[in-house]
């Protein structure tokens, strides 16, 4: 899930192109991209798409951003997903573990069968959520990951979205929060469509913090995300490290020098995790 | 309140100049600037000033930094303010929500009439306060804002005050803490009187984090703070954004491209908040 | 304790050289450096060394990193230390205040006499520990300090160990956590043996955050740590500041300009603390 393309449900003319594109995941939006009056029509369109053969047979991860739990739209948003294919429900404005639990309970209620129940992708986009990201990530087993929402967070507080120091601080806290529960962290959107370098720099920052991928609001951002979050080199190195660890263990050393740096058990465990996560033999 | 000038109550010769100057706020200090033996005289001087016509008719925000709740001076400091004009009581060394509540209760006791009761400006200047800034900001409705106190925080821990990475980390946590409760955050003092560029750089960092203004310990810092925290350009942009949002809503779009970046509901809400806060029509 | 040299208990050939070297402290490791099968032999070797005259008469601080509380090795690790000289027990993977308390209780049980009981040096190396560093530091009086473990923390989460922004964020939170309880913070290891400049840069960052010293995994890192964490200049300045404070107090000023910057009570208190801590007259 290196890239995740934003698809406003108010713009059905984008659907086919998004499905045919290179994004690893699509994120259909029922929230901010859809004005109040357009919500019912957007839901109807989305329900149809999620039930279509094109979507059901797609190799893409399918995500739906619903309206917040405190809105009148949430229940209808969830209801419209039933019978369609959805991998993750993306819940905005989750400011506390209690709200995350409420969201997870609603999903369990709507999908009684765990086999086809979507996971919960929680948006961290308020100051309280940033501070309590660890509590939110551990709130419920259905929480699959945390997604940082910098635009909402920064706009509300008057924080400069273009200052990478501020971006770093928010990404750091959210990554560590996700890590408390072994959940993944996912990077949010870069608002300036014309600034590919800004997008790439933010993606590289997220990658270096262990984020899984980055949200894209335009198809031309997708190839950058796919390149930045590619894990080929990392997996090759993990293979070499596991091999070296076998050699060191054979002569009784738990810590050893690998490609110029001292490594020990946690590094080997991380390498094995990576190979397992990405389906290669460890 | 772009600038707030520090006025030691031990130095009455500074009072008239401070009142005549360009600072948006004056902060009369009864705490660290006044040695133990000088506290009663300082209080008497301050009480007289706060009751003077010059102060009562001044357009400035008036702030008094009192001694900490755990000192023998606190009660007398609060008592001396009665009958004078005070907009904010600045309480130092607030390390927990419990202490903030105690301070707020004392103010409510001293000013039974809510109409002329000062707000509470809480100093965040211990490590526990930085971590719990969100709890402190939400502790009591009387908490008007959080003010970061880097000198105390850094001196005590042996942290280098001149390293902007450290300053950023403290300002970030305090800004987010204030934001949890919708309170303002205010920047502390820059100790090097001769280093105008250092002052300006720190003010710009605070501005980019959404701080309201910066504390000044010398009149010549005031004009820099007034320039850095000027909001003219920001308000003009907010006007343009609100206008664009009306246009987008008219054609059914909740998210739209504005001056090169994708914006949606939170950006529009922030623009409306700014225009309301600064008294312009939205 | 400017420098602390890592001594794997699986490598007895390093012991004599470590004792003869320039490190202020030695940290004997029973954990990751010792493979499972080698633990009993490592303990036996360590017990002998800690009872030797060479160690008992050494001027070095002696630290032992034991296996985690949740391992089968912890009890035997603690038992092997009895009768030897140990200043600090270093406990890995402490993720909560409850675990810190459990570790402290085990030490109290093993050394009933407080006079020769070692302190507890707690490793902060999980995301939960970073967030709750303040709770861990205040968990028990036996907690002497917090040591940041970046390798474990970063490897597990896939965070780039070479990005100084990430290092800063972890060091900041851990330093403030230690500061909540007045405990010291200690910097962890730099894994790249060949990169002396990387080691020095990280040591300087830790120093500027008020850390006491830095862990070394090779003797040639020791002299760098000793130089970076030298406090000669700082102590000389503290002397000058205390003298200046006497002069300012004599003319009734609590805040005054010292070597170009405005200082007040906290700066003077910090200077006195430093002189006391390092055994000089204030």
3-state secondary structure B252-266: CCCCEEECCEEECHH
Sign of the Cα pseudo-torsion (A172, A177, A178, A180, in order)? positive
> Is A277 in CB contact (< 8 Å) with chain C?
no
> Do the beta carbons of residue C218 and residue C193 sit within 8 Å?
yes
Contact assignment for A10 to B269 by CB distance below 8 Å: no
Kindly identify which residue of chain C lies nearest to residue B37, measuring between CA atoms.
Answer: C252
pLDDT at B193: 87
Q: Is B13 on the interface with C (CB under 8 A)?
A: no
Let me know how many helices (H) and strands (E) chain C has, helices first. 13, 10
- Structural element, H or E, at residue A270: helix A265-277
Give yes or no for B169 touching C (CB within 8 A). yes
Distance CA B189, CA B177 (A): 19
Nearest CA-CA partner of C80 in C115, C38, C30: C30
Tokens linked to A69: 């739990």
Question: CA of C65: how far to CAs of C32, C87, C126, C217, C218, in Å?
Answer: 9, 11, 17, 14, 17
Interchain pair A38, B261: CB under 8 A: no
Residue B3, judged by CB atoms within 10 A of its CB (0-12, 13-18, 19+), counts as: buried
Please state, in angstroms and rounded to a whole number, the distance separating the CA atoms of residues C223 and C192.
16
Question: If 0-12 CB within 10 Å is exposed, 13-18 middle and 19+ buried, where does residue C109 land?
Answer: exposed
Closest CA to C249 of C272, C276, C281, C277: C272
Identify from C97, C186, C250, C262 which residue to disrupt to test chain B contact, counting B C-beta atoms within 10 A and taking the largest count.
C262
Q: Do C260 and B38 touch (CB under 8 A)?
A: no
pLDDT tens digits along C183-237: 999 999 998 888 999 999 999 999 999 999 999 999 999 999 999 999 888 888 8
Residue B266 has what pLDDT? Answer: 78
d(CA B159, CA A83): 57
C257: nearest CB among B128, B155, B193:
B193
Per-residue confidence (pLDDT) for residue A269, from 0 to 100: 84
Render pLDDT for C52-78 as a digit per residue (tens, 0 to 9).
Answer: 999 988 999 999 999 999 999 999 999
Q: What is the tens place of the pLDDT at every residue in C227-266? A: 999 988 888 888 899 999 888 888 877 788 888 888 888 7
Chains in contact with C, where contact requires at least 3 CB pairs less than 8 Å apart? A, B
Q: Which of B34, B54, B37, B109 is nearest to B79 (CA)?
A: B109
Which one of B155, B202, B215 would you mutate to disrupt binding with C, by most C Cβ within 10 Å of its Cβ?
B155
The predicted-structure confidence for C6-24, as pLDDT tens digits, reads as follows: 999 988 888 999 999 999 9
The CA distance from C187 to C213, in Å, is: 6
Contact status, residue A222 vs residue A23, Cβ threshold 8 Å? yes
Are A192 and B260 in contact (CB < 8 Å)?
yes
Smallest Cβ–Cβ distance between A265 and the set C32, C160, C165 belongs to C32
- Are A160 and B209 a contacting pair at CB < 8 A? yes
The ipTM is: 0.89
β-pairing, A119-124 with C261-263?
A: unpaired
Alpha-carbon distance A9 to A132, whole Å? 31
pLDDT of residue C282: 37
Lookup: tokens for B14: 């500074």
pLDDT at residue B282 in the model: 37
Q: Is C242 in a helix, a strand, or coil?
A: helix
Q: At what angle do helices C164-180 and A164-180 cross, to 10 degrees?
A: 70
Question: Neighbouring chains of B at 3+ CB pairs within 8 Å?
Answer: A, C
Nearest to B270 among A32, A156, A165 (CB): A156
Count of alpha carbons within 13 angstroms of residue B246, beta-carbon side: 7
Mean pLDDT by runs of 10 across the 282 residues of chain B is 94 90 96 91 95 91 96 96 95 96 96 93 97 97 96 92 96 98 96 92 97 95 96 87 87 82 82 74 40
Does any CB of chain A come closer than 8 Å to the CB of residue C37? yes
Does residue B183 sit at the A interface (CB-CB below 8 Å)? no
A193 by DSSP, 3-state: which? coil
Query: In chain C, which ranges are E strands?
Result: 3-8, 25-29, 61-65, 88-91, 119-124, 143-148, 184-186, 214-216, 256-258, 261-263
Given this model, what pLDDT does residue B260 score?
82
**Pairing mode, strands C119-124 and B88-91:** unpaired
- Provide the token pair at C61: 């601080």
Cβ–Cβ gap B10/C249 under 8 Å: no
**What is the domain partition of chain A in residue ranges?**
3-230, 233-277
Query: What residues have CB less than 8 Å from B156, skipping those under 6 apart?
Result: B126, C179, C266, C269, C270
Q: Average pLDDT of C32-49?
A: 93
Query: How close is the nearest chain B Cα to the Cα of C280, in Å?
Result: 17
Average pLDDT, chain C: 92
Dihedral of CA B239/B241/B242/B244: which sign? positive
Percent of chain C at pLDDT > 90 equals 73
Q: How far is CA B229 from the centre of its chain?
A: 12
> Helix-strand-coil percent breakdown of chain C, rounded to 5?
50, 15, 35
User: Residue B83 class from Cβ within 10 Å (0-12 exposed, 13-18 middle, 19+ buried)?
Assistant: exposed
Cβ under 8 Å to C: B residues 136-165: 151-152, 155-160, 163, 165
Residues in chain C, overall count: 282
Q: Could you tell me if B166 lies within 8 Å of chain C, comparing CB atoms?
A: yes
Count CB-CB contacts under 10 A for residue B22. 14
> CATH number of the domain at C3-230, please?
3.20.20.60
C261 to B192: CB separation less than 8 angstroms, yes or no: yes
Q: How far off is chain C from A170, nearest CA to CA, in Å? A: 11
pLDDT at C280 over 80: no
Residue of C nearest to A176 (CA): C127
Residues of C in contact with A177 (CB under 8 A): 127, 131
Q: What are phi and psi of A148, to 5 degrees?
A: -80, 135
Segments of chain A scoring below 50 in pLDDT? 281-282
Q: What is the pTM of this model?
A: 0.90
A:C CB pairs within 8 Å: 84
């Amino acid at each position: 899930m290196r890239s995740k393309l934003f698809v406003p449900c108010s713009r059905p003319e984008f659907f086919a192109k998004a499905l045919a594109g290179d994004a690893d995941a699509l994120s259909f939006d029922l929230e901010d991209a859809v004005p109040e009056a357009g919500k019912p029509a957007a839901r109807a369109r989305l329900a149809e798409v999620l039930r279509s053969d094109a979507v059901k047979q797609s190799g893409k991860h399918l995500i739906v951003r619903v309206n917040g739990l405190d809105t009148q739209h949430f229940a209808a948003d969830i209801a419209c997903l039933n019978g369609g294919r959805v991998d993750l429900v993306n819940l905005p404005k989750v400011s506390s573990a209690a709200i995350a639990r409420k969201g997870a309970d609603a999903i369990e209620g709507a999908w009684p069968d765990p086999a086809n129940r979507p996971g919960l992708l929680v948006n961290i986009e308020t100051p309280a959520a940033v501070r309590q990201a660890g509590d939110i990530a551990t709130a419920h087993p259905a929480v699959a990951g945390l997604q940082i929402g910098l635009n909402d967070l920064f706009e509300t507080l008057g924080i400069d979205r273009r200052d990478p120091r501020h971006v770093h601080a928010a990404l750091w806290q959210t990554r560590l929060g996700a890590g408390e529960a072994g959940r993944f962290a996912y990077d949010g959107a870069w608002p300036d469509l014309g600034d590919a370098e800004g997008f790439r720099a933010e993606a590289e920052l997220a990658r270096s913090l262990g984020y899984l991928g980055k949200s894209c609001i335009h198809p031309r951002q997708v190839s950058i995300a796919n390149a930045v979050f590619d894990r080929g080199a990392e997996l090759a190195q993990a293979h070499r490290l596991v091999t070296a660890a076998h050699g060191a263990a054979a002569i009784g050393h738990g810590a050893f020098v690998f490609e110029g740096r001292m490594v020990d058990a946690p590094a080997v465990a991380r390498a094995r995790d990576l190979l397992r996560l990405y389906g290669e033999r460890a």
